Structure 1
C-alpha cells in the first residue's frame, strides 16, 4: 500500500526524468587510476547507446591540477557524437573555454559553492567575486551560442563551515541564473543530506526560480542518495545527475562512495513508473566495462546484483 501511494504521488509530480550522466567527468576525475584516452572514448561511446541524452564527457582543466582529465581535448574530439545527445564539459577559465570551442562543445558547465569558506579555500575569492569571474566566460559562450549550466556545491553542508543555510544556496543560484546559466545543478558535495534537509533546501531555492530550472547532484556517502532523490521528485525536480556504477568519490569525506549510481537511480525510477528513456541492461554493461578497466568493484547495488544473477 505504501509503495503504491509513493509511486502514484511521484508520477503526479514527475512523469519522466532526464538523467545527466557525470561518470566520464566527475567520476573518472576522482578515481586514482588514470585511464588511456581510448578507454575513455569507448566508455562514452557505450554510454551513448543507452538512451542517455546528456553526458558530461570531460573537464577542460589543466592536467597539472587534474591529471585524470589531461587528455580532455582528445577525448572530446575522439568520441562518436550521436545526434540528440548533449556532450558537455566543465570549463573553469577562458583557456578551458577556448578548448571547448576548438572541440565544438555545445554545452559547458561552471562551478560555484554556497559556502564562503569553501569558495575562498578552493577558488581564492568570495562567492560574489567568483560569479564575477565567470561572467567573461558567460559572455563568450553567449556569442558562440554555447549553453551554460551552473553547479552549486556544498548545498547542505560544508567540510569547513558545517551546515549551510538554504538561503545561501538560493542566493548563489539566483546569481548564476542572472549571469546566464540555463540550469543549476545543486550538489550535496559531501553526501550528508537527508530527505528532510534536502526538502528544506529545495523549498528555499524554489522561491527564486521555477522548478524546471534546477537539477540535483547527490553523493551517497551516508547511503541517502536515492532517498534524497525521491524527496526531490516530490517537489517536482525532474533532472538528476548520476554517475554509472557510482564512480568517483569525495575528497572531503572519509569513506565516501561517490555519486549516486546511475544504474540504481534508473532501476528505482522505472520501478516507480517514471520514464527515463534509458536501456538499463546497456547501462549495466557500460558500468561493468568501466569498472573492469579501473580494476575496482562497482558501487551500484543493481550492477552487483546482476553479476550474481548473470555471471
Structure 2
C-alpha cells in the first residue's frame, strides 16, 4: 500500500470541538495552515453546525477565509448535521467534502443531531443532491459502528444493512466510526474485511477512538483488514465528549505514521511542517 493508496485524514475539527476554552480564530487558522502543508489527503477542518451545540466551531466561516490553499494538495472536509448546515457548506468553493454523522444507534442520532435515523436518511438524500449540484463529495460516517453504550441493538447485520441503504442512495465514501471507543482489534478484524469485500466500489474508511494503550492494536487491525482511508488527529486529541473514559480520544496521527513506516510503507509527508504543527498544538491543547 503506497501513500497514494492509503488516504490519511487529519481531524483537527474533531480534536478541538470539545475544548472548553474558545480557541482564537487566528490561532486555529495558523494551526490549520501548518497542517495543510504537511501533505495529508484530507483535512477535517471545521463544521457548519449550531454554535449553541458546538461553540468551538462557530468561527468556521472566518477560519475558512484565513486558509491558504495556494500550495497544498490537501482537500477540505467540513462536518454538517442537518440540511441548513449542508446549505451553508456547499456555498464555499474551497470545500471538497461534506461529512455527515449517520448513527446506527437511534438514541445517539437523536442526541447528536436531534433527528431520527429515518429523518437523517432524508437529510443524506438531500445532501447528496446538493453535493452533486455544487461539485462536492459526501462522506457519511456510520456512527456507533462498533456498538453503543445505550443498549440499542447492534450487530454486523445492522452495520451492513445501513451501509447497503446509504450506498444504494449514492454515497461514495463511507467511514465506520467508533464514537465511544468500544471497538477492539477483534471487532475491527471481524467487521471491516466483510464490509470491504461486500462493498468493493465505494471507499470504506475508518474513524476510531481509543485509549492510548490500544491505539497500535487498532491501527494494526484496520491495516490488516484492508482499510485504505483512516482518520486520526495529532497526539490523539479530541474524541467524543460523551465518552466515559477521559483518555478515550482520536487515534494519534503520529502512531499511524509510525505504524505505516514500520510496515515499510512510503508516507510522503512534510515532517518539518508536521513538527511545527506539533509544537504549535501546545498553545491550543493545554
Q: What is the TM-score with the length of structure 1 in the denominator?
A: 0.84
What residue ranges of structure 2 are gaps of 5+ in the alignment?
A: none
Off by >6 Å, runs of 4+ in structure 1: none
Specify which of 164, 184, 188 is matched with residue 194 of structure 1: 184
In structure 2, the residue matched to 1:93 is 82
Matched, 1:255 2:246: yes
Specify which of 26, 29, 43 is matched with residue 14 of structure 2: 26
Alignment coverage as a number of residue pairs: 281
Cα 1:121–1:38, aligned 2, differ >3 Å: closer, same or farther? closer
Specify which of 11, 15, 28 is matched with residue 40 of structure 1: 28
> CA offset at residue 132 of structure 1?
1.7
Alignment of 1:41-80 (within 5 A): 41-80=29-68
In structure 2, the residue matched to 1:230 is 220
Specify which of 153, 158, 170 is matched with residue 160 of structure 2: 170
Q: Deviations over 1:195-249 (max 9, x none)?
A: 1111112134235311761111111136323211211211211111001111213
Report if aligned partners of 1:18, 1:276 keep a CA contact under 8 Å in 2: no
Matched, 1:291 2:256: no
What is the distance in 2 between the residues matched to 1:263 and 1:18? 15
> CA offset at residue 32 of structure 1?
1.9
What is the distance in 2 between the residues matched to 1:253 and 1:211? 36
Structure with greater proportional helix content:
1
What is the distance in 2 between the residues matched to 1:80 and 1:260? 26
Q: What is the TM-score with the length of structure 2 in the denominator?
A: 0.90
Structure number, greater radius of gyration: 1
Matched, 1:268 2:259: yes
Q: Deviations over 1:59-108 (max 9, x none)?
A: 01111111000001111121001442201101222322232233322221
Cα 1:249–1:40, aligned 2, differ >3 Å: closer, same or farther? same
Specify which of 110, 119, 124 is matched with residue 109 of structure 2: 119
